């Protein structure tokens, strides 16, 4: 069975063709870009206005206190953000809704420092969670903040993210996210055995293969692969001994060069597989 045929039946939940598709050179750093849009507010939090009073129904979401206010303290505002126009090797790792808690210390002109926490749920992949902080000017909507965090769940387990967003006078911000896969674990191993007239790691269409994952102590953990810088694809679960395998043969649709990092429960296996398939 060719790789693509196998994946058409087994890959969960992303399209099968991602495992063996000629693509750009692999980088351990995955990236995503896009736009951030605040879509709702679950709680306005509390507002303290030194020298003034809170505005019960502010004319805009960014006018919190009456004239004469010298210090504004915003605490525990809860809002939700959505993301659009996603692009990059990690784009599918950020397609979800982000629940954000906001605290700010501002002056009377609505400028100052804000910080908080976030929990960003990515359907069928996991959750990013972490802290954020930055400088804000809420009157002109010129803001910049940074949000480091960590992933949990099948496709995000153990990954790290550094997220930077900028608002330049518009209610829609732009962002770049950099994702670093988890460190490799020498106890989690992957092997690729190929039978045929190959030369080293240069294989031929028609060669047969057996790929094995060996991860003692990682029973019933999701097995996934990151190939050529694309987002991770989950393929199955390890057995009670922490093993998983697949066999088949290269097909005409599998021609190309590949760099693959295999994961068990978000832990990267050793070694990284680098090989090619030619006619």
Q: Which two tokens stand for residue 68?
A: 């004469």
In angstroms, the CA 85 to CA 37 distance is 11
Residues near 137 by Cβ (< 8 Å), separated by ≥ 6? Answer: 110, 111, 143
Mean pLDDT of 190-212: 84
What is the reported pLDDT for 230?
A: 62
Band (pLDDT 50/70/90 cuts) for residue 242 is: very high
Residue 217 CB burial class (10 angstroms; 0-12, 13-18, ≥19): exposed
Q: Which two tokens stand for residue 269?
A: 């296996």
Q: Which two tokens stand for residue 104?
A: 């700010």
Strands 222-227 and 184-195: unpaired
Buried b (16+ CB within 10 A) or exposed e, 178-207: bbebbebbeebbbeeebeeebeeeebbbee
Encode pLDDT of 44-96 as tens digits: 899 999 999 998 765 555 788 999 999 999 999 999 999 999 999 889 999 99
Strands 184-195 and 267-270: parallel
Encode pLDDT of 126-183 as tens digits: 899 888 999 999 888 899 999 988 888 777 877 889 999 999 988 899 999 999 876 6
Mean pLDDT of 31-45: 92
**What are the Cα distances from residue 262, in Å, to 1, 187, 209, 245, 272?**
20, 13, 16, 12, 7
163, 149 in Cβ contact below 8 A? yes
3-state secondary structure of 235: strand
Strands 256-264 and 267-270: antiparallel
215, 64 in Cβ contact below 8 A? no
User: Which has more pLDDT, 99 or 248?
Assistant: 99
3-state secondary structure of 91: helix
Is residue 27's pLDDT more than 70? no
Q: Which residues pair with 50 in a beta bridge?
A: 71
What is the reported pLDDT for 155?
A: 78
Proportion of the chain above pLDDT 90, given as a percent: 40
Say which CATH architecture domain 3-27+183-278 belongs to: Sandwich (2.60)
Q: Mean of the per-residue pLDDT values for the chain?
A: 82
What is the reported pLDDT for 112?
A: 94
Domain boundaries defined on the chain: 3-27+183-278, 30-180
Mean pLDDT of 27-52: 88
What is the reported pLDDT for 156?
A: 83
Band (pLDDT 50/70/90 cuts) for residue 277 is: confident
In angstroms, the CA 158 to CA 160 distance is 7
Same topology between domain 3-27+183-278 and domain 30-180 = no
Q: What is the CATH number of domain 30-180?
A: 2.40.350.10
Band (pLDDT 50/70/90 cuts) for residue 29 is: confident
Band (pLDDT 50/70/90 cuts) for residue 97 is: very high
């Amino acid at each position: 069975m060719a790789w693509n045929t196998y994946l058409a039946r087994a890959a969960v939940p992303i399209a099968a063709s991602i495992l063996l598709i000629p693509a750009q050179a692999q980088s351990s750093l995955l990236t995503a870009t896009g736009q951030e849009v605040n879509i709702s507010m679950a709680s306005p939090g509390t507002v303290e206005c030194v020298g003034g009073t809170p505005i019960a129904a502010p004319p805009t979401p960014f006018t919190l206190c009456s004239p004469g206010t010298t210090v504004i303290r915003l605490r525990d505002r809860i809002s939700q953000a959505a993301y659009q126009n996603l692009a990059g090797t990690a784009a599918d790792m950020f397609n979800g809704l982000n629940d954000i808690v906001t605290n700010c210390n501002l002056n009377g002109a609505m400028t100052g420092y804000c910080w908080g926490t976030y929990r960003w749920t990515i359907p069928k992949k996991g959750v990013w969670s972490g802290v954020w902080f930055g400088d804000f000017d809420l009157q002109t909507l010129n803001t910049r903040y940074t949000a480091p965090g960590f992933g949990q769940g099948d496709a995000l387990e153990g990954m790290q993210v550094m997220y930077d967003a900028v608002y330049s006078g518009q209610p829609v911000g732009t962002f770049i996210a950099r994702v670093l896969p988890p460190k490799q674990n020498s106890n989690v191993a992957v092997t690729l055995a190929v039978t045929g007239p190959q030369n080293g790691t240069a294989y031929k269409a028609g060669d047969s293969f057996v790929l094995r994952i060996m991860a003692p102590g990682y029973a019933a953990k999701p097995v996934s692969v990151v190939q050529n810088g694309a987002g991770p694809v989950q393929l199955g679960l390890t057995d009670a001994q922490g093993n998983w395998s697949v066999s088949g043969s290269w097909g005409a649709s599998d021609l190309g060069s590949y760099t693959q990092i295999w994961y068990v429960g978000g832990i990267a296996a050793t070694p990284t597989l680098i090989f090619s398939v030619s006619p």
